[in-house]
Amino acid sequence: MKVFLTGGTGFIGGALARALRDRGDEVVALVRTPARARELAQRGVTLVEGDLGDVAAIEQGMQGAGVVIHGAAMYEVGIPAGDRPKMDEANVRGTENVLGAALRLKIPRALYISTVGVFGNTRGQVVDENGPLGDGSTSWYERTKVEAHRVARRLLEQGLPLVIVQPGGVYGPGDHSQLGNIVHQFVAGRLPAMAFPDLGINFVHRDDVVAGILLALEKGRPGEAYVLGGEIATAQQLVETLARITGRRPPRLTMPAVLLKMSAPLGPLLAPRLGFPPNLRELISASDGVTYWARHDKAMRELGYAPRGLEQGLRDTLQAEGLLQNAAA
């Protein structure tokens, strides 16, 4: 089967491209810079040069495809206000361009990789796929992904045979996100204090998300959404799990949110020294006592989705990165 993929050079998309090729699919990937996608080319992926604003390149790559998977997005929390138009362009208009082209070209099946973040702050509740969309108040990322989710639903209503998957907080080997930074800082012994210990996430291993996407392609019902999670927990529980695995002590100190709020005006100068993005105000609004909790029961029931728990997932991550023995030493 020919699959057209966006986001193939990303954390989830790269693993997905490998999995599609391993099962024998022909994969065509939209890439902004082919020179940075050599690993995809080496695996037999056909590269189409273009970005999410290049409708001609998108339609060229889709020709003859049986499936379109749209996974490309700009993911970052704590961006400066000046970067917001770029995020709008990638996350909202990019979704319109890709899924709109799939509708025009009458692609038989489409899959959109959304996020549980579209539910916003669930305030300690564990929602499901029918939960209300957030108001975009936690971050600009949430705002753009909520709007992109609405775009996907509108195109679905216009006749696009679309399945939506909504991963939780994704971690795994090679993760360079803020979540990955916490894992690596702790294992390296460079996490003296916890910031936002009550931040709630449904933590899911990247490879389980990829497996869930493949299941959704095979068994997902057009018009339906499926949360892909692993284990509902807090940032504090994440670090405590890492402590059990590595034999290290968890941090005894907690960085007070009030101190970070007082430091927010100095964010561009102070944040890099703390390992944070420059917009501290947005980071705080997206992290301080916020929960992004959604259950993945539907995917387990309808797709046969079977994610690993957090401890096993973290063990697998550290093992794959060659960090488990070093951490325990």
Model-level pTM greater than 0.75?
Answer: yes
Give the count of beta carbons closer than 10 Å to the beta carbon of residue 62: 22
Q: Give percent above pLDDT 90 in the chain.
A: 80
pLDDT tens digits along 112-162: 999 999 999 999 999 999 999 999 999 999 999 999 999 999 999 999 999
| Confidence label for 252 from pLDDT (cuts 50, 70 and 90) | confident
Determine the pLDDT at residue 267.
54
Task: Specify the residue for token string 């894992």.
Answer: 183
Q: Look at 59-63, 169-173, 194-198, 271-275 and tell me which has the smallest mean pLDDT.
A: 271-275
- SS3 letters across 20-36: HHHCCCEEEEEECCHHH
CB contact at 8 A, 283 and 218: no
Give the count of beta carbons closer than 10 Å to the beta carbon of residue 289: 14
> Taking residues 290-314, what's their average pLDDT?
98
| Confidence label for 62 from pLDDT (cuts 50, 70 and 90) | very high
* pLDDT of 329 over the 50 cut: no
| Two tokens, residue 323 | 């960090």
Q: Does CATH place domain 2-171+204-230 in 3.40.470.10? A: no
* pLDDT of 265 over the 70 cut: no
| Two tokens, residue 125 | 């509740």
Q: How is the chain split into domains, by residue range? A: 2-171+204-230
- What residues contact residue 124 under an 8 Å CB cut-off, 6+ apart? 200, 291, 293
Pairing of strands 67-70, 2-6: parallel
- What residues contact residue 78 under an 8 Å CB cut-off, 6+ apart? 139, 271, 276, 277, 278, 279, 280, 282, 283, 286
